[in-house]
Structure 1
Amino acid sequence: MEKTIPGEKFDLGVCYYPEQWPEAMWADDYRRMREIGFTIVRMGEFAWNFFEPEEGVFAFDLFDRAIDLAHEHGLQVILGTPTATPPAWMTYKYPEILNANFDGVQYQHGLRRHYNYSSPIYREYCAKITEAMARHYANNPGVVGWQIDNELNCEVNVFYAEADHAAFRKWVQEKYGTLDALNEAWGTVFWNQSYSDWEQVHLPRPAPSKSVNPHQALDEKRFISDNTISFARLQADILRLLAPTQWVTTNGMFGHLDSHAMTDELLDFFSFDSYPNFSTIWNDAERENPLMDRSNSNQLTKVRSISPTFCIMEQQSGPGGWVNTMGQSAPKPGQMRLWTYQSVAHGADMVLFFRWRTATFGTEIYWHGINDYHNRPNRRVAEVATISQELGKIGEVIAGSRFTAEVAILHDYDNEWDGELDQYHGPLTRESEYNWGKALQFSHIPYDYLYVQNKTTLDDLARYKVLIYPHPAIMSEETAELLKQYAAAGGKLIFGARSGYKDQRGHCRMTPFPGLIAELCGITVEDFTLVLKEAATPNLRWIDGGDDASTPARLFNDILLPESGSVETLALYDGDYYTGKPALTRNPYGSGEAYYFGAAFSREVADGLIRRLGLQPATAGWAELPSEVEVAIRVKRDRRFAFILNYTDKPVKANLLKELEDLLEGERVRMGELEIAPYGVKVLEL
């Protein structure tokens, strides 16, 4: 069943921590929230001590008052289970609940997420607090839903406590059944690693070199994901049983967690924490034409693959920063509004800002909220009031609509996790996904992510005219067959270097590259090499001469050998010993076609393929937009809404080719020039 926010209602709200503020401030806070137009608040996710101040003693009076008062002011409450921060009385009495690092050094009490998911004692106490809270709040009219824990696998996404080694041992025993099967899957005959007793099996541990057994490492990530989902399931099952009328979600999208499986199995919809300013300091500031905060749209696209409509549980409202790290500049005037509409454009039907007021103590005293410490009016309060007023007008109009795209980037967890260790394909995927995302965005071609899973069907693929699967080193027989069926039915597939040559264990197949898709692509790989230095990167020479000769073939080069007369060579290498050899090919397959590019995709190569594929911008027929703006289309029955987002600090001009309705301004916009303000937003009905 598809997981989306039910109905056609838009909620705007904020994260609030009543336990951190004098109770005398609550009523004024709630009053001002309602004056702004907020309808929902999240609370409780770090408050275990207030719910269980000592072992087995539960107390709800503080949050009863906070929730009841919020409800009196017309605010619904999302209640977080407080399991991200176990209380000191618990970690002191049961230190085995604490996580440990790769070297086996145990973390200590303090900060957050210092526990492990595997500890039977911790699971027991998590079940108890969840049950107590669910029984108490199941029929509370102020509580509308639950957030499980907070940001699963944030801060740390690897676990090496003794309980984790034991849980991993049980997991592999259930997966493989026998030691012979385990030894075969992990290739333990190499370097004499073979196991003769289950007690010898552990998660990866320190060794003389930095590497680990790659097949063990892949199973480690699969185990962490399954174990995390199991931990979330413990709470979800209790909430479903005891509070069946309240919805269940959790927030995140962090590493080593199959968020698709977790959402499908446990949640009503998925939630995400959107901090676009991270992109300006961590991602691509040094690149040419950097996407900066616009690259957050790529993350939101991945979120949308989990839930077509979703919740933003934390929307950035101010500069972020812990005392010791992650310092960010303040959002420019207009950027908070821009980032909110960025989330909405990509499918958010519920948005909560983080946070109502900046904390005056603790690690996050520089993680600024809407209100400053002094609680006086500021530009962020004024900006969020504008956002609320606008979404109050159009929220129900756009709620329930779906983002639409004709292109999808295929992705899967096995290759993501395997690529963390395997430098022959992991970095390629990261580079190619970035460049395809940039090329599609700058061409105004909306795209989806489609995660390849065991349940993926031909119908899932057939929704798209073009599928880009940049570097799927690991590929199952079932996936290869599905891709062939898609192409045969008329679809267009694009692969990059290092595709198809590993099985699901991470073993290399004893067949010519690209393995299971060789017939589909009509080629084999006659030679290959890492490209270790930018200066050594060969260029491409397009056969049709339609592009600049400096188009680079980055990071890795598969030298291709056409194996069929139907294969068309589109570009040749122009550099190194393989000058003149095929670098990019196209093979007709049934009614469709498959492209194979022997390198990581650069922006230039992606642009070249976009032109040759004949992909049209979403604005075709109604507008001409500058590259500085992003366009996203949401559709609701027979209504189409275009979000136009200007990420620059300068006004830009669009050319409208027809008269359209401006939903935010409530007026018709004539054909011709349309100016979009710095960090400005337009929502047009097509």
Structure 2
Amino acid sequence: MPDTAPEGLEGLAFGGDYNPEQWPEEVWQEDVRLMREAGVNLVSLGIFSWALLEPEPGRYDFDWLDRIIGLLHEHGIRIDLATPTVAPPAWFYRAHPDALPVSREGTRYAFGSRGAICHSSPAYRAAAAAITEQLARRYGSHPALALWHVHNEYGVPVSACYCENCAVHFRRWLGATYSTVDAVNEAWGTAFWGQRYGSFDEIEPPRATPTVCNPAQRLDYARFADATMRENFVRERDLLHRHSPGIPVTTNFMTALSQCDSVDYWAWGREVDLVTNDHYLITDGRRTHVNLAMAADLTRSVAGGAPWLLLEHSTSGVNWQPRNPAKAPGQMARNSLAHVARGSDGAMFFQWRQSRRGAEKFHSSMLPHAGTDSRVWREVVGLGAALGGLATVRGTRTAADAALVWDWQSWWAQRLEWRPSEDHDARERADTFYEALYDRHLTVDFAHPEADLSGYPLVVVPALYLAGEATGRNLRTYVENGGTLVVSYFSGIVDQHDAVHPGAHPGVLREVLGLTVEEFSPLGEGERVRLTAADGAELTGDVWSEFVVPRGAETVWTYADGLAAGRPAITRHRLGRGTAWYVSTRLDSGALDTILDAAAEDAGIAPRTGLPRDIEVVRRTGEGGDYLFAVNHTGTDTKVPLPAHGTELLTGERAAGRLGLPAGAVRVVKLDD
């Protein structure tokens, strides 16, 4: 069984994607010298190199790769070696044009970008396996090899193809999943609109239709597309395991909810040896560090709580958003160490040397166009030194205070057409609930709806539209055994086939919440409703309201206006030794904090009043010791309380009582044993 950490690294990983093929060979010596100056110990190599490695079918050229791997090894830099299967060569598409993906509307994409792949194409699968096996045979036992990197960012930019190859493959997948076409008809509810199928051969991918396509078919096709990409990963992974025993195999995820929406990372996390993630700040006006923390917590959760690796982020600005601001001085290190606080065993970047040509020439890098006499370079060198001083953090685990239940397949189902309101967004609810927990200074694990929740005093469930019977039992057991649960509206509505659960809403959550919902009452654009408590306090909701009927739950907040005026808006249900809260309208993070105050009190979580807003305090613990990370995202110096005496690793100073935390800085205290 391969290890789960990069082979041969003693401390935290530091480096990035290296694309030497973009540069004359005389530049390589300078690159390696500067890598050593910066403290780089790991680079990702060969991700987009298929056309160079196999310049024509069946003819391989590894001489240049031999030379650069040898040079890196000579200077003590380890290799994350990629299979280049995200970017097949031009000759491949000329020979196999049907390997280019087809959109739902019937447009076949052209060669000239990246990730333009029909994952059902037999020709692609054969060619990908062939180049992977060649690499595995040649480099599988190379002493510089630390990690295998399959493909690149599966699902970006294309996950689902709708071509004839996919139609054939989809029918095979349905046969394996359902056995009979009658079972497909039952699962998809094809009696509606006369869509019944007489054989598997009659079933096509859910291509563009005059009006709404069968939602259960759309949902299954999303599952099929994800499973097909995963089949291809597993095929390459198994080849690498066979020829390179002991070396872990990964592929880089993109778990940030705003960046990749076609991959079920719960399933993928079970297939990789080491979970790795790419994260880029989304500059849409929100607090970017909150999304960063969320992505890191979600990645750690996909890894089952084990250490993971940040395989890509940016030193400064990116190039693919409408506006791409530079990072502020110190922000690169702060971002990197915030990921480390939440479980990453290193910080890697895209890319080492900034490109002069191509689509990403304005994407920042470790070695920018401005060269070594630049702010970015000086900050890169400083970060390398800082990570070098945190070597003993490697292998420790981040401690969490609460859990947020999330399911990618439920998200897929909620985004299909003809839902009660286009203003409802499951990802937005997850973001908002997470932000409210973040502002309470709680470290959050994400959890699959059927995962063991017994270790968490508080669990929140934002917009879990799709929930099966097992989820209902799991959440009920959690509450009965003493847990505190907070559930938002439009949860528990349908089963795995997007079929509404029998009886009143919220389906499988009726018993744990102690209520039923007679009817949804979405609000008009810009419309708001007031909520009042017994003491006269008020909250404001928007987007959604419901006609809630308590069936054992107590009413805590009531609708003061709107169609549901006088009816319960927020309820609390005591069940067994625990409590379940229900929020039937959309609250912003500030209003949610009011509800979470009460829920946290039920859960026995004391408020962390000594910490200002936008100050993170996160703890990693393990055989290497206990480490407290304090991250200041504000422009003001502050102090944070310490649970014990310790040594601050970035300055070498002793720390006790309250830790000084300068504006924009990070401090890491190794607590005394």
**TM-score, with structure 2 as normaliser:** 0.93
C-alpha separation in 1, matches of 2:32 and 2:447: 40
**1:405 counterpart residue number:** 400
- Contact 1:291/1:438, CA 8 A, preserved across alignment: no
Q: Is the 8 A contact 2:421 2:522 kept in 1?
A: no
Match of 2:185 among 176, 183, 186: 183
| Shift in Å, 1:8 | 7.0
| Aligned with 2:414 (options 386, 401, 419) | 419
Q: C-alpha separation between the residues in 1 aligned to 2:225 and 2:308? A: 24
Find the counterpart in structure 2 of residue 594 from structure 1.
Answer: 580
Q: What residue is the counterpart of 1:513 in the other structure?
A: 505
Q: How does 1:478-627 map to 2 (within 5 A)?
A: 478-534=470-526, 536-545=527-536, 548-549=537-538, 551-564=539-552, 567-614=553-600, 624-627=610-613
Shift of 1:619: 11
Which residue number corresponds to residue 650 of structure 2? 664
Q: Which amino acid aligns with 2:267?
A: A
1:273 maps to 2:271: no
C-alpha contact 1:77 1:143 (8 A) present in aligned 2: yes
SS at structure 1 position matched to 2:385: helix
Q: Using the alignment, how far apart are the partners of 2:216 and 2:159 within structure 1?
A: 18
Q: 2:437 aligns with which of 422, 436, 440?
A: 440
How far residue 249 of structure 1 moved from its aligned partner, in angstroms, is: 0.5
Deviation at 1:511, TM superposition (A): 0.6
d(CA) in 2 for partners of 1:412, 1:605: 24
Residues 548 and 568, structure 2, Cα contact 8 Å, conserved in 1:
yes
Of stretches 326-335 and 212-221 in structure 1, the one that deviates more from structure 2 is: 326-335
How far has the Cα of 1:544 moved from its partner? 4.3
Please list the CA deviations of residues 201-239 of structure 1 after superposition, one character each: whole Å capped at 9, or x if unmatched: 111112222x32111111011111111110111101100
State the 1:82 CA deviation: 0.4
Question: Residue type matched to 2:530 in 1?
Answer: N
The secondary structure found in structure 2 opposite 1:371 is: coil
1:258 equivalent to 2:264? Answer yes
Residues 594 and 23 of structure 1: CA distance in aligned 2, closer, same or farther (over 3 Å): same
Q: What displacement does 1:327 show?
A: 4.2
Which amino acid letter does the alignment assign opposite residue 563 of structure 2? Y
Larger CA deviation: 130-139 vs 188-197: 188-197
- Structure 1 residues 655 and 365, CA, compared in 2 at 3 Å: closer, same or farther? closer
Identity of aligned residues (%): 32
Amino acid at match of 1:314: E
1:449 — aligned with what? 446
The answer to whether the Cα contact below 8 Å between 2:471 and 2:508 also exists between their aligned partners in 1 is no
Residues 638 and 463 of structure 1: CA distance in aligned 2, closer, same or farther (over 3 Å): farther
CA distance in 2, matches of 1:623, 1:501: 37
Partners of 2:10 and 2:77 lie apart in 1 by: 18
Taking the aligned partners of 2:48 and 2:605, their CA distance within structure 1 comes to 45
- Greater CA drift, 132-141 or 571-580: 571-580
What SS class does the counterpart of residue 153 from structure 1 fall into?
coil
User: Secondary structure of the equivalent of 1:156?
Assistant: coil
> Counterpart of 2:28 in 1: which secondary structure?
helix
For residue 89 of structure 2, the aligned residue among 84, 87, 90 is 87
Check 1:2–1:239 CA distance in 2 against 1; reply closer, same or farther (3 A cut).
closer
CA contact (8 A) 1:419 1:425 kept: no
Query: C-alpha separation between the residues in 2 aligned to 1:61 and 1:619?
Result: 60
- Give, in whole Å, the separation in 1 of the partners of 2:400 and 2:244: 37
Q: Structure 1: how far apart are the matches of 2:100 and 2:449?
A: 34
Call closer, same or farther: CA 1:593–1:622 in 2, change over 3 Å. closer
After TM superposition, give the deviation of residue 617 of structure 1 in Å: 13
> d(CA) in 2 for partners of 1:123 and 1:379?
44
Aligned to 2:72: 70
Superposed displacement of residue 655, structure 1: 4.8
The residue that corresponds to 2:291 in the other structure is 295
Q: Residue in 2 aligned with 1:26?
A: 28
Cα pair 1:446 1:618 within 8 Å, conserved: no
1:363 Cα deviation from its structure 2 partner: 0.8
Instruction: Tell me by how many angstroms 1:134 deviates.
Output: 0.3
Per-residue CA deviation, residues 299-346 of structure 1 (Å, 9 max, x unaligned), is 111111112311111121121115xx5541111111111111121111
The answer on whether the counterparts of 1:436 and 1:606 sit within 8 Å (CA) in structure 2 is yes
Residue type of the partner of 1:231? N
Shift of 1:2: 13
Distance 2:670 2:342 in 1: 16
Deviation at 1:45, TM superposition (A): 0.7
Compare 414-423 and 589-598 and name the one that shifted more.
414-423
2:244 match:
243
1:684 is the counterpart of 2:669:
yes
Q: Secondary structure at the match of 2:541?
A: coil
Q: How many matched pairs?
A: 659
1:654 to 639, 657, 663: 639
Whole-Å separation in 2 of the counterparts to 1:373 and 1:604:
43
Instruction: List alignment gaps of at least 5 residues for structure 2.
Output: 255-259
Q: Is the 8 A contact 1:406 1:463 kept in 2?
A: no
Structure 2: how far apart are the matches of 1:321 and 1:384?
Answer: 19
Q: Is the 8 A contact 1:444 1:619 kept in 2?
A: no
1:114: Cα distance to partner?
A: 0.9
Offset at residue 578 of structure 1 (A): 2.1
CA distance change for structure 1 residues 391 and 498 in 2, over 3 Å: closer, same or farther? same
Q: Do 1:411 and 1:452's aligned partners in 2 also have CA atoms closer than 8 Å?
A: yes
> Which has the larger displacement, 583-592 or 424-433?
424-433
Q: State whether residues 443 and 617 of structure 1, in contact with CA within 8 Å, keep that contact through their aligned partners in structure 2.
A: no
Q: In structure 1, what is the Cα distance between the partners aligned to 2:64 and 2:163?
A: 35
Secondary structure at the counterpart of residue 586 of structure 1: strand
Change (3 A) 1:175 1:613: same
SS at match of 1:577: coil
1:311 is matched with which residue? 309
Aligned equivalent of 2:257: none
Q: Which residue pairs with 1:642 in the alignment?
A: 628
Aligned counterparts of 2:344 and 2:101: Cα–Cα separation in 1: 34
Residue 410 of structure 1 and its aligned partner are, at CA, apart by 0.2
Q: Separation in 1 of the partners of 2:516 and 2:311?
A: 47
Tell me the amino acid that sits aligned with residue 131 of structure 1.
E
Q: Which residue does 1:48 correspond to in 2? A: 50
The 1-side partners of 2:44 and 2:299 are apart by 20
